[in-house]
Amino acid sequence: LLWSAIFHDWGKCWPGLAQPKKSDSSQYTYIMHEARSEELVYDVMTRLGIEPVVRKVVGRIVRLHMDPHQKEWSKRSMGRFLHAARVKGNPRTDIWKLVVLHSIADLMGKHEMVNEGEINDRIGLLHRLSDYENPMGNLIYTPLVNGEDLQVMFPTLPLKPLPNQRDNFIGWISE
Average pLDDT, 10 consecutive residues per value, the chain (175 residues)? 84 85 87 87 93 91 87 88 86 86 84 76 90 69 65 71 55 59
pLDDT reported for residue 159: 65
**From CA 87, how far away is CA 51, in angstroms rounded?**
14
pLDDT reported for residue 56: 92
pLDDT reported for residue 90: 79
Question: What's the distance, Cα to Cα, between the start and end of the chain in Å?
Answer: 57
pLDDT reported for residue 13: 84
- Find, among 59, 64, 58, 55, the residue nearest to 103 by Cα: 64
In three-state secondary structure terms, 89 is: coil
- The DSSP secondary structure of 100-127, one letter per residue, reads HHHHHHHHHTSGGG--HHHHHHHHHHHH
Which alpha helices (DSSP H) does the chain contain, by range?
2-7, 33-47, 52-64, 75-84, 95-108, 116-133, 147-153, 166-174
- Find, among 129, 105, 125, the residue nearest to 8 by Cα: 105
pLDDT reported for residue 47: 94
